[in-house]
Amino acid sequence: MGFDRLLFADFQPLALIATTPTGAQRLQPLNQLPATTLWVSESLSQIEGVQTYSGSLSEHLANIWPDCKSLVFCLATGAVIRLIAPLLQDKSCDPAVVVVDEAGKFVISLCSGHQGKADRLAQLVARQIGATPVITGASASLGLPGIDVLGVPFGWNRGTGDWTKVSAAIARGELVRVIQEAGSTLWQSHLPETHPFDFGVPEEAIAPQARVWISHQQVKSRRGAKHCARTKVKSQDSTIPEVRWHPRVLWVGMGCERGTSRKLIAAAIQQVCQANDLAEDAIAGIATIDIKADEAGILELCGERCWHLRTFPAEILRTVEVPNPSTVVEAEVGTPSVAEAAAICAAGDVSQIQPSLPTPLPWERGAAGGVRAEECWQADLGLDRSPTLKPVQGRLLVSKQIFCFDTEDRLIQNPKSKIQNRQGAVTVAIAQSQLEYTGRKGSLWLVGTGPGKLEQMTPAAQTAITAADAVIGYSLYIDLISPLLRPGQIVEALPITQERQRAERAIALAKWGLTVAVVSSGDCGIYGMAGLVLEELQRSGWDGKTPSVEVFPGITALQAAAARVGAPLMHDFCAISLSDLLTPWEVIEKRLIAAAQADFVTALYNPRSQTRTQQIVTVQQIFLQYRHPSTPVAIVRSAYRSDEEIAISTLEKFLDLPIDMLTTVIIGNQSSRTHADWIITPRGYNSWSSFTDCD
Ligand code: SAH
């Protein structure tokens, strides 16, 4: 349940509703989750672990509806529709509603598929109970991420706009202009081949039917974009529907008098944002000097707005070049700048909270040709910037401004002289980071996908792959798991030789805040990616918690191969990889001799490659010294895949058969024997019972 808790956390409180014993039974696996209640009518009170409601189900639903994040019904869809109809308000606030049929064949995402995450819940429930998820949203059938959930993995804030009209335009396949001025463009490289988005064709050429802004700026003006040649905005554009996402790239640098009120800080930030066309929704957090870490007004505001608070010591802040240093400030706190320096530090140093910035892979770059934030930075944003300022990543957008309230609590900007007001005084500057702050604790899921067929993969592993924001693995395995992938996922297939890059990339994305599934065939902890990822994490100074790690076991090749030929592993066995790429051959040879001597059934991974052909011959010679030439040997190629080949031979003859890198070879022990097409390694019951018989 540990992993399930993690997966379903987003959907709680979760209400399960059944009206029959079969329905209740169907939903019982989900009833183990925390913050979950299985509701049944009083007549079914004898069922274990349920809660009963009295009166009508519709009354009961009306009572629990406001407190539920999600509801899963095991009931006819029509009945559910009638029950929930009077309760529905708006897709931005309605809970996820999912329906499971009594036979447990289908899980329907009925309502609030995107923002309520019912689509995701339906997929998770379906994986858990082995059913087919039914997702009828238009974007899902087009293989596209819902436009109203696009930025969720990256922690973007949903801004204003006509989400229904833009979604409808996307569903109709109409041209939708995307203007991305901030935030990661990773999503653009993971769209299906045909999609309605256009990332930079001049609007004069083809008129779009809708527009998606991904920006740190607010609606009113788009000066930055106007100056970006590729995103010229025509006046009639305002007639087409638009939506706005705000990646959290703005860091508010702040200095303040002790005891400055939350109200003044909020008013100052609002004023600076408005004056500079910046969206408050694009604020990642507040940055200040460490002695302000306990400043009540700042803490209150950060808590309220879910902003991150970052503090820096004076020794760091004083190293930052700023446009408006102050000797007075320096004399007071030991750095000539707090607000500007802290903003630049926070925006340029996202690595402290999200180390290892994910850079696009070579083959991703420019894939969709989107307008990148950096390109817009080339343009004049029309905001205060010092020509001498050269921050590496953080870019000062607004130089410091001082605010206080006058005696009648009116906001005064840059007062000429000190005004006495108990609400204090605050200095605000704003910098932009290149990479957005996701505000999420990333996870690495190390997933074993089994030998081939999906049925051979555990439901937990399948669920993890569907649920992850990003899936990384060797291309062949990505193909095998393609039915589990969902629109909007970042799927990166890397060539087989690039294990280290795969691990580093996965770690970078997870440290950034994404949930990343790293897939290995078989078991990921057996000659798979789990060890490498953990090693790399250790090297990077990982604290063992962030990103969180979860390992999903899978059926390894030796189990799969054994299952195809009977029970060769019925007694003590070992696995030896013949690949000497990462292990010196002398070590491998020593282990082979030890295994042969100790009479272990021995499974050989990576037995023979095109260039490495001699090792398997040496194996035969070693084993013939300790085992009879007639010892059974299984040669299983591509177990549970469409090109599966199975052969049973002997230690003396097995080299006559084709063996390659898709093959696992199992050498029996001294007691292993064949019967028809099967290999049996006795467990010892028969000899043991005859021994007791004699006793
Ligand atoms: N992590 C994998 C092993 C990777 S090493 C696991 O746990 O199964 C790669 C080797 O595994 C191959 O050279 C082959 O020896 C074996 N192998 C992997 N999949 C196989 C399959 N479906 N059938 C037979 N052997 C397989």
Q: What is the pLDDT of residues 235-273, one digit of tens each?
A: 345 689 999 999 999 999 999 999 999 999 999 999 999
Q: Ligand 1: does its nearest atom lie under 6 Å from the Cβ of 188?
A: no
Same domain, residue pair 642 and 575: yes
Q: Which residue minimizes the CA distance to atom 13 of ligand 1?
A: 606
Residue 3 has a pLDDT of: 55
Cα of 451 vs centre of ligand 1, distance in Å, is: 7
- Please say whether the beta carbons of 636 and 678 come within 8 A: no
* pLDDT tens track for 102-112: 999 999 999 99
CATH of the domain at 56: 3.40.50.11220
Among 555, 588, 606, which residue terminates a domain? 555
Cα of 87 vs centre of ligand 1, distance in Å, is: 53
For a mutational test of ligand 1's pocket, the pick from 480, 581, 610, 663, i.e. the residue with the most ligand atoms closer than 8 A to its C-beta, is 663
The number of C-alpha atoms within 13 Å of 48 and in the hemisphere containing its C-beta is 4
CA distances for 441 relative to 153, 252, 435, angstroms = 11, 22, 16
Asked whether the bond before 547 is cis by omega within 30 degrees of 0, the reply is yes
CATH of the domain at 405: 3.30.420.180
Count of helix runs (H) and strand runs (E) in the chain: 22, 31
Q: Ligand 1: does its nearest atom lie under 6 Å from the Cβ of 561?
A: yes
Q: Which residue has the tokens 């899963």?
A: 72
Cα of 574 vs centre of ligand 1, distance in Å, is: 15
Count of domains in the chain?
A: 5
Cα of 456 vs centre of ligand 1, distance in Å, is: 14
CATH of the domain at 538: 3.40.1010.10
Cα of 328 vs centre of ligand 1, distance in Å, is: 68
517 pairs with which residues across the strands?
445, 471
Q: Which residue has the tokens 């190390």?
A: 446
Lookup: tokens for 120:
């995701």
Q: Which of 381, 405, 84 is nearest to 264 (CA)?
A: 405
CA distances for 632 relative to 571, 626, 627, angstroms = 14, 14, 10
pLDDT over 90 percentage in the chain: 73
Q: Distance between CA 390 and CA 505 in Å, rounded?
A: 28
- Please say whether the beta carbons of 130 and 459 come within 8 A: yes
Same domain, residue pair 82 and 208: no
Task: Give the DSSP H/E element, type plus range, for residue 2.
Answer: helix 2-8
Residue 377 within any structural domain of the chain: no
Asked whether the bond before 459 is cis by omega within 30 degrees of 0, the reply is no
For a mutational test of ligand 1's pocket, the pick from 552, 636, 657, 664, i.e. the residue with the most ligand atoms closer than 8 A to its C-beta, is 664
Q: Ligand 1: does its nearest atom lie under 6 Å from the Cβ of 128?
A: no
Residue 354 within any structural domain of the chain: no
Q: Distance between CA 451 and CA 563 in Å, rounded?
A: 11
Same domain, residue pair 493 and 569: no
Task: Give the DSSP H/E element, type plus range, for residue 171.
Answer: helix 163-171
Q: Ligand 1: does its nearest atom lie under 6 Å from the Cβ of 489?
A: no
∠ CA 88-219-268, rounded to 5°: 100
Residue 311 within any structural domain of the chain: yes
Q: Dump the DSSP string for 231-293.
A: G---GGGGGS-EEEEE---EEEEEEE-TT--HHHHHHHHHHHHHHTTB-GGGEEEEEEEGGGT
Q: Ligand 1: does its nearest atom lie under 6 Å from the Cβ of 568?
A: no
Q: Ligand 1: does its nearest atom lie under 6 Å from the Cβ of 525?
A: no
Cα of 640 vs centre of ligand 1, distance in Å, is: 11
Q: Distance between CA 610 and CA 262 in Å, rounded?
A: 69
Residues 6+ apart with CB under 8 A from 662: 637, 638
Residue 676 within any structural domain of the chain: yes
**Strand 51-53 to strand 36-41: parallel, antiparallel, or no bridges (unpaired)?**
parallel
Cα of 32 vs centre of ligand 1, distance in Å, is: 35
Of 341-350, 384-393, 415-424, 578-587, the poorest mean pLDDT is in 384-393
Q: Ligand 1: does its nearest atom lie under 6 Å from the Cβ of 557?
A: yes
Cα of 560 vs centre of ligand 1, distance in Å, is: 9
Tell me the mean pLDDT in the region 654-676.
97
Lookup: tokens for 579:
């690949």
Q: Which residue minimizes the CA distance to atom 9 of ligand 1?
A: 606
Q: Is the pLDDT of residue 361 over 90?
A: no
Q: Ligand 1: does its nearest atom lie under 6 Å from the Cβ of 641?
A: yes
The 8-class DSSP code of residue 655 comes to G
CA distances for 338 relative to 317, 351, 388, 396, 658, angstroms = 7, 20, 18, 13, 71
- Please say whether the beta carbons of 419 and 407 come within 8 A: yes
Q: Ligand 1: does its nearest atom lie under 6 Å from the Cβ of 473?
A: no
Residue 573 has a pLDDT of: 98
For a mutational test of ligand 1's pocket, the pick from 519, 527, 577, i.e. the residue with the most ligand atoms closer than 8 A to its C-beta, is 527
Q: Which of 450, 489, 459 is nearest to 125 (CA)?
A: 459
Q: Which atom of ligand 1 is nearest to the CA of 558?
A: 8
- Please say whether the beta carbons of 484 and 462 come within 8 A: yes
Residue 545 has a pLDDT of: 94
Q: Which atom of ligand 1 is nearest to the CA of 525?
A: 1
Tell me the mean pLDDT in the region 659-685.
96
Same domain, residue pair 399 and 269: yes
Same domain, residue pair 582 and 521: no
Residue 694 within any structural domain of the chain: no
Tell me the mean pLDDT in the region 124-138.
87
Q: Ligand 1: does its nearest atom lie under 6 Å from the Cβ of 113?
A: no
Cα of 664 vs centre of ligand 1, distance in Å, is: 7
Cα of 191 vs centre of ligand 1, distance in Å, is: 31
* pLDDT tens track for 625-641: 999 999 999 999 999 99
* pLDDT tens track for 438-484: 999 999 999 999 998 899 999 889 989 999 999 999 888 888 899 89
Q: Ligand 1: does its nearest atom lie under 6 Å from the Cβ of 452?
A: yes
- Confidence bin at 17 (pLDDT 50/70/90): very high
Dihedral angle computed from the Cα positions of residues 402, 405, 410 and 411, in that order, rounded to the nearest 10 degrees: 20
Same domain, residue pair 127 and 268: no
Dihedral angle computed from the Cα positions of residues 495, 498, 503 and 506, in that order, rounded to the nearest 10 degrees: -40
Cα of 662 vs centre of ligand 1, distance in Å, is: 6
Q: Distance between CA 225 and CA 217 in Å, rounded?
A: 9
* pLDDT tens track for 568-601: 999 999 999 999 988 999 999 999 999 999 999 9
Q: Which atom of ligand 1 is nearest to the CA of 451?
A: 22
* Mean pLDDT value across the chain: 87
Q: Distance between CA 77 and CA 129 in Å, rounded?
A: 18
Q: Ligand 1: does its nearest atom lie under 6 Å from the Cβ of 480?
A: no
CA distances for 571 relative to 64, 233, 669, 671, 685, angstroms = 55, 73, 8, 10, 11
- Confidence bin at 351 (pLDDT 50/70/90): very low
Task: Give the DSSP H/E element, type plus range, for residue 532.
Answer: helix 529-539
> What residues make up the domain containing 410?
250-349+391-432
Q: Distance between CA 354 and CA 358 in Å, rounded?
A: 10
Q: Ligand 1: does its nearest atom lie under 6 Å from the Cβ of 661?
A: yes
Lookup: tokens for 329:
């400030």
Residues recorded for the chain: 695
Asked whether the bond before 323 is cis by omega within 30 degrees of 0, the reply is no
- Helix (H, G, I), strand (E, B), or coil: what is residue 449? coil
Q: Which of 39, 41, 50 is nearest to 17 (CA)?
A: 39
The 8-class DSSP code of residue 228 comes to S
Cα of 612 vs centre of ligand 1, distance in Å, is: 16
Q: Ligand 1: does its nearest atom lie under 6 Å from the Cβ of 520?
A: yes
**What ranges in 627-684 are assigned the alpha helix state H?**
none
Residues 6+ apart with CB under 8 A from 270: 280
- Please say whether the beta carbons of 309 and 218 come within 8 A: no
Cα of 2 vs centre of ligand 1, distance in Å, is: 28
Cα of 490 vs centre of ligand 1, distance in Å, is: 26
Q: Is the pLDDT of residue 646 over 70?
A: yes
The 8-class DSSP code of residue 521 comes to S
- Confidence bin at 671 (pLDDT 50/70/90): very high
Same domain, residue pair 335 and 421: yes
Tell me the mean pLDDT in the region 300-314.
96
- Helix (H, G, I), strand (E, B), or coil: what is residue 70? strand
472 pairs with which residues across the strands?
492, 518
Compute how many other C-beta atoms are within 10 angstroms of the C-beta atom of residue 514: 25
**Strand 132-134 to strand 210-214: parallel, antiparallel, or no bridges (unpaired)?**
unpaired
Same domain, residue pair 508 and 400: no
Among 432, 453, 481, which residue terminates a domain? 432
For a mutational test of ligand 1's pocket, the pick from 579, 662, 666, i.e. the residue with the most ligand atoms closer than 8 A to its C-beta, is 662
- Confidence bin at 528 (pLDDT 50/70/90): very high
Q: Ligand 1: does its nearest atom lie under 6 Å from the Cβ of 451?
A: yes
Q: Distance between CA 350 and CA 513 in Å, rounded?
A: 12
Residue 367 within any structural domain of the chain: no
Among 530, 555, 580, which residue terminates a domain? 555
Same domain, residue pair 75 and 129: yes
- Please say whether the beta carbons of 77 and 108 come within 8 A: yes
Residue 288 within any structural domain of the chain: yes
Q: Is the pLDDT of residue 689 over 70?
A: no
The number of C-alpha atoms within 13 Å of 470 and in the hemisphere containing its C-beta is 29
Residues 6+ apart with CB under 8 A from 267: 403, 405, 411
- The separation between CA 211 and the C-alpha centre of its own chain, rounded to angstroms, equals 26
Q: Distance between CA 501 and CA 508 in Å, rounded?
A: 10
Cα of 116 vs centre of ligand 1, distance in Å, is: 40
For a mutational test of ligand 1's pocket, the pick from 477, 532, 605, 610, i.e. the residue with the most ligand atoms closer than 8 A to its C-beta, is 605
Q: Which residue minimizes the CA distance to atom 4 of ligand 1?
A: 527
- Confidence bin at 422 (pLDDT 50/70/90): confident
The 8-class DSSP code of residue 447 comes to E
Same domain, residue pair 38 and 177: no
For a mutational test of ligand 1's pocket, the pick from 454, 455, 502, 521, i.e. the residue with the most ligand atoms closer than 8 A to its C-beta, is 521
Lookup: tokens for 583:
């292990």
Residue 144 within any structural domain of the chain: no
- Confidence bin at 122 (pLDDT 50/70/90): very high
Write down the pTM of the prediction: 0.83
Tell me the mean pLDDT in the region 377-394.
33
Q: Ligand 1: does its nearest atom lie under 6 Å from the Cβ of 474?
A: no
Same domain, residue pair 420 and 276: yes
Same domain, residue pair 622 and 569: yes
Residue 237 has a pLDDT of: 59
The number of C-alpha atoms within 13 Å of 396 and in the hemisphere containing its C-beta is 28
Cα of 466 vs centre of ligand 1, distance in Å, is: 23
